[in-house]
């Protein structure tokens, strides 16, 4: 051990001697990088990759049409600060008439609504209509100096798992943020605050956090393919699974909201058993618990559960020749057809199966 100390001490003494000699003889001392007192030269980078250029182009084209949505609570003057009396989300320009699209849950609690554009301009807006069953809402700008162009529409019908997806929004109140990823799943079903399910929901791993709600989900051409609406995370932050309402649904619902401020809720007048009941009974289809008096289902002869014996009555197993395995299959088909139309249902009672024609009504106005 003493030998090692002796060697180290000798080396240190030699270094001091060399430095002293260099100063006396005016010999330059070896440059120490961390002692630099001037900025280093900037190295020129190569050209951006084609993928980088494409992503930059999407953001530069679309981001001016994305807005931050802030809702002021009636209990607080603070605007758009989550947890302090307001809600904050994202929206985007839908048309040249000044309509904006966002999520229903962003504006559901009432209060004055304002939006901030990428330019920094703030504008007050009016609530045109809401569709809780689809978590969509439409706003209209009262006045703005220059309205950005609407986002180009794509289609959600031909999406593929694995293709690129881009989300622009205002996570945690930070405006104009862009994230990218892929479409990680299709045909998801998402429960809404309206007590129903949105069918064919898009799942993506592009980071979606609180504040992104209501923002656009885009394909690699910068076209709208969905409206971001929810994440699955115990902490409330992105955990790799986000959801978006498919644009084909949006393009059906938004014009209806602009026309009338609401969307009909198509139904046939039945109360259905939960999927857990169907699973326990080993039933594939929708078990009818009861029919509403005077409803299209009752008039068509559909029968519910026998309340005296508990025996199952009718089970809806198909609509227009397509199988119905759960309630969302039926509600999706009714929504596609629309109130005022008639659909052909396949109904099973015991071992017998038959087809019946049933009218569709707007159950909220019946």
DSSP track, 246-280: EHHHHHHHHHHHHHHSS---EE-SEEE--HHHHHH
Catalytic residue among 88, 135, 156, 219: 135
Q: CB–CB of 156/248 below 8 Å?
A: yes
CB burial class (10 A; 0-12, 13-18, 19+) of residue 293?
Answer: exposed
Tell me, yes or no, if 135 is annotated catalytic: yes
The token pair at 310 is 């508990």
Tell me, yes or no, if 213 is annotated catalytic: yes
Read off the pLDDT band of 82 (50, 70, 90).
very low
266-362: CATH topology is Pdz3 Domain (2.30.42)
Domain with CATH 2.40.10.10 in the chain: 51-141, 164-260
| 139-160 mean pLDDT | 92
Architecture of domain 51-141: Beta Barrel (2.40)
Measured between alpha carbons, how far is 314 from 303 in angstroms, rounded to an integer? 6
The beta strands (E) that lie in 221-351 are given as: 224-231, 242-246, 266-267, 270-272, 286-291, 314-319, 322-323, 342-349
Catalytic residue among 63, 88, 180, 213: 213
For residue 83, pLDDT over 50 is answered with: no
Catalytic residue among 63, 88, 105, 278: 105
Read off the pLDDT band of 146 (50, 70, 90).
confident
- Specify the DSSP element, H or E, that contains 182: strand 177-191
Q: Quote the pTM value.
A: 0.74
> Over the range 109-122, which residues count as b (16 or more CB within 10 Å of their CB) and which as e?
eebebbbbbbeeee
Q: CB–CB of 330/318 below 8 Å?
A: no
Non-local (6+) Cβ contacts of 337 within 8 A are 266, 343, 360
* Between 176 and 136, the higher pLDDT residue: 136
* Between 273 and 168, the higher pLDDT residue: 168
Between 37-46, 80-89, 159-168, 309-318, the lowest mean confidence (pLDDT) is in 80-89
Architecture of domain 164-260: Beta Barrel (2.40)
Question: HSE of 120 in the Cβ direction (CA atoms, 13 Å)?
Answer: 0
């Amino acid at each position: 051990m003493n030998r090692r100390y002796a060697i180290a001490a000798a080396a240190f003494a030699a270094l001091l001697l060399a430095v002293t000699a260099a100063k006396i003889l005016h010999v330059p001392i070896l440059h120490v990088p961390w002692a630099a007192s001037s900025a280093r030269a900037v190295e020129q980078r190569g050209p951006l990759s084609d993928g980088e250029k494409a992503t930059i182009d999407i953001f530069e084209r679309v981001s001016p049409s994305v807005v931050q949505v802030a809702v002021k609570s009636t209990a607080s003057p603070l605007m758009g600060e989550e947890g302090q009396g307001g809600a904050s989300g994202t929206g985007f320009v839908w048309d040249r008439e000044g309509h904006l699209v966002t999520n229903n849950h962003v504006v559901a609690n009432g209060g004055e609504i304002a939006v901030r554009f990428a330019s920094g301009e703030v504008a007050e807006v009016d609530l045109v209509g809401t569709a809780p069953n689809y978590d969509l809402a439409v706003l209209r700008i009262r006045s703005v100096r220059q309205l950005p162009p609407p986002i180009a529409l794509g289609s959600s019908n031909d999406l593929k798992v694995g293709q690129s997806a881009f989300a622009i929004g205002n996570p945690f109140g930070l405006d104009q943020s862009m994230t990218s990823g892929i479409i990680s799943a299709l045909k998801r079903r998402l429960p809404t605050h309206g007590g129903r399910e949105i069918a064919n929901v898009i799942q993506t791993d592009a980071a979606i956090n609180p504040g992104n709600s209501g923002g656009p989900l885009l394909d690699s051409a910068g076209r709208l393919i969905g409206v971001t609406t929810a994440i699955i995370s115990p902490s409330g932050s992105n955990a790799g699974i986000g959801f978006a309402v498919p644009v084909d649904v949006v393009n059906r619902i938004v014009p209806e909201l602009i026309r009338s401020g609401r969307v009909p809720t198509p139904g046939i007048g039945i109360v259905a058993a939960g999927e857990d009941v169907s699973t326990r009974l080993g039933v594939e289809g929708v078990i009818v618990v009861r029919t509403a008096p005077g409803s299209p289902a009752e008039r068509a002869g559909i029968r519910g559960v026998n309340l005296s014996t508990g025996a199952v009555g009718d089970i809806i197993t198909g609509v227009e020749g397509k199988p119905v395995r759960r309630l969302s299959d039926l509600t999706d088909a009714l929504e596609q057809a629309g109130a005022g139309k008639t659909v052909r249902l396949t109904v099973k009672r015991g071992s017998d199966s038959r087809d019946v024609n049933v009218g569709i009504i707007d159950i909220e106005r019946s």
